[in-house]
A and B are shown apart, each in its own frame.
Chain A
Amino acid sequence: MVVELYEQYVPVIPFIIIGVLIPAGGMILAWLMRVKNPYPEKLTTYECGEEPIGQAQMQFDVQYYIYALLFVVFDVETVFLYPWAVVFPDIGILAVIEMIIFIAMLVVALIYAWKKGILEWMPLTWREMVIREGGRAR
């Protein structure tokens, strides 16, 4: 068992080393070759010529945290599906029916999420946002 694991996973190590070496080596090569002439105007943050207002490292309204929750649900489902996929043709139609029941339960969850409207990107329209901010909707 240990020998098998050794034979299967040792080849990944050179891949990791080279996978790090390609970008690192490229960056070092570029560091040796490139022009270096920084001055204050060049080092400002690029924003199409405008003066940036505030930082970009700020609290950001991540639209999709509920997507992420849903993602976790289905990701765990795949963990169950992969071992099932390897063995089910041996067991036959019974295993298929069981898995369809399992998937059906998740589909119910998906339908619930759908009806709740959390699959909509940007649930707030501009109009609603303006009203919420206390402005007048046009």
Chain B
Amino acid sequence: MIRRRVHGGLYAEDMERLYHGPLPYLIMLIGAGLTVAILTGTGLALSYVAGLAPEGFWENPWVRGAVGAVLWALVVAVGGLYLTLVERKFMARVQVRYGPNRWGPYGILQPIADAIKLLRKEDIIPEAADPLVMRFAPIIAFAPSFVLFAAVPWTESYVASTMDIGVLFIVAVTALTPIGVLMAGWGPNNKYNLLGAMRFAAQELAYEIPLVLAMIGPIAAAQSLNGVAIVEAQRGTWLGLIPRWNIFPQFLGAIIFFVAFMAETGRIPFDIPDAEGEIVHGFTAEYSGMKFVLLLLIEYVHLIAGAALFVVLFMGGYLGPAPINPFAWFALKLLLVILFMMLIRAVWFRVRIDQIMTLGWKILLPAALFNIGFIGIYLAVTV
């Protein structure tokens, strides 16, 4: 029998055994345990460090803002980098492939190799393009999607800004991203970019309304727009067993919100703005190098932001039983929602643009309006 050498010293048969035996599941379990331990440890370490500061230090708004911004920047940078690997690996598992496995064990160094490659890549600005618009587009598209984290509560005490209009602020800031994307569509003077940006704008228009309307449920339940207040309103359990998360009484609202934010990120069931097969990755077609990475990163920032919002609004944010601390609970729920979105991406297909518009305007919008009436009556009766 000829043995085919595929991976370093391993043979194809060994690979088969390695990837289809119980080992992957064992590793996943150990990985999950390690994740919980690391997150809990980080949370404890953070609260220890926070306790060391002099009295009144954390009440200083500049300190809160700066520390929060640096923490979220780390989450977005490392998360954005590593979510690409998690996604590729996870999709490969679902689709019975190996996924990246060359750099480091299980390919864990792959994102770093990608980053170095993309930093070294030549950055082409075509002659016909408008260089200024093309250069500023990634900045203008990226900045708002990062600023919204200022109002997302990590835990009760780790929230950068305790603004009263938290959720409204997030919605308002998110609405600025399409301007950057439209600039990315216009600047390069390329038809694919233009088409992609126009599709993105149409999609944002169609799904903004159901998204915003679905948020009304949790807001009404908490009687506040503040993120911490919305989470605190979900404290406690029904019958001592089911947590009082908004997702249970407001299931319809949760589904509407989930679908709408998935459409706003432009991921696979709704990825017509960057359909590779027809318009060559849409509004990033003419971009290369770092600017391309930044435009891609926006998708992952939106993913993290949307999942964070979903966790805060519907899944009880940082609340959870004691042994795992609140910091870790929030991160775990965030990971769970993100993995669920990746699962959908792995098994689903791209829908047509008219179907997307139909879903947004003819199904989700009436459903969201119905949902408001339903929640209104539910809350008026129960409160």
Residues of chain A touching chain B, judged by Cβ–Cβ distance below 8 Å, are 6-20, 22-24, 26-27, 29-31, 33-38, 40, 42-48, 52, 55-57, 60, 62-64, 67-68, 70-71, 74-75, 78, 81-82, 85-90, 92-93, 95-96, 99-100, 103, 106-107, 110, 114, 119-122
- CB proximity of B274 to chain A, nearest CB, Å: 15
Query: 1/0 per position for B359-383, CB-CB distance to A under 8 A?
Result: 0011001100100110011011101
Q: How far is the CA of A34 from the CA of B289 in the complex (A)?
A: 8
Most B C-beta atoms less than 10 A away, residue of A16, A17, A68: A16
Q: Which chain B residue lies CB-closest to A114? A: B362
Q: Can you add 5 more A-B contacts, CB < 8 Å, to A34-B121, A81-B372?
A: A12-B161, A27-B135, A45-B189, A67-B202, A88-B380
Contact present for A19 and B61 (CB under 8 Å): no
Q: How far is the CA of A45 from the CA of B185 in the complex (A)?
A: 13
Q: Which chain B residue lies CB-closest to A30? A: B290
Q: Which chain B residue lies CB-closest to A63? A: B202
Contact of A107 among B191, B212, B369 (CB under 8 A): B369
Cβ of A11: which chain B residues have Cβ within 8 Å of it? 61-62, 64-65, 68-69, 150, 160-161
Contact present for A74 and B138 (CB under 8 Å): no
Contact of B123 among A31, A63, A122 (CB under 8 A): A31
Q: Which chain B residue lies CB-closest to A8? A: B163
- Do A23 and B122 form a contact, CB below 8 Å, given A30-B290, A48-B280, A110-B366? no
Contact present for B119 and A29 (CB under 8 Å): yes
- Do A82 and B205 form a contact, CB below 8 Å, given A52-B191, A88-B379? no
Contact present for A57 and B369 (CB under 8 Å): no
Query: 1/0 per position for B42-83, CB-CB distance to A under 8 A?
Result: 000000000000000001011011101110110011000000
Q: Which chain B residue lies CB-closest to A40? A: B127
Q: Which chain B residue lies CB-closest to A12? A: B150
- Do A34 and B122 form a contact, CB below 8 Å, given A74-B365, A119-B357? yes
Contact present for A64 and B202 (CB under 8 Å): yes
Q: How far is the CA of A24 from the CA of B127 in the complex (A)?
A: 22
Cβ of B225: which chain A residues have Cβ within 8 Å of it? 82, 86
Q: How far is the CA of A36 from the CA of B125 in the complex (A)?
A: 11
Contact present for A6 and B61 (CB under 8 Å): yes
Contact present for B124 and A27 (CB under 8 Å): no
Query: 1/0 per position for B124-154, CB-CB distance to A under 8 A?
Result: 1111111000010011001110110110000
Most A C-beta atoms less than 10 A away, residue of B69, B77, B138, B198: B69
- CB proximity of B210 to chain A, nearest CB, Å: 9
Cβ of A40: which chain B residues have Cβ within 8 Å of it? 127
Q: Which chain B residue lies CB-closest to A82? A: B168
- CB proximity of A21 to chain B, nearest CB, Å: 9
Contact of B189 among A23, A56, A70 (CB under 8 A): A56
Contact present for B143 and A16 (CB under 8 Å): yes
Is the CB of B246 closer than 8 A to any CB of chain A? no
Cβ of B383: which chain A residues have Cβ within 8 Å of it? 89
Contact present for B372 and A107 (CB under 8 Å): no
Is the CB of B193 closer than 8 A to any CB of chain A? yes
Q: Which chain B residue lies CB-closest to A16? A: B147
- Do A12 and B212 form a contact, CB below 8 Å, given A45-B126, A89-B379, A107-B366? no
Contact present for B206 and A67 (CB under 8 Å): yes
Contact present for B219 and A85 (CB under 8 Å): yes
- CB proximity of B283 to chain A, nearest CB, Å: 12
Contact of B68 among A15, A29, A60, A74 (CB under 8 A): A15
Is the CB of B190 closer than 8 A to any CB of chain A? yes
- Do A89 and B139 form a contact, CB below 8 Å, given A26-B294, A48-B280, A82-B168? no
8 of the cross-chain contacts (CB-CB < 8 Å) are A11-B161, A14-B160, A27-B139, A31-B123, A45-B188, A57-B186, A81-B372, A96-B380
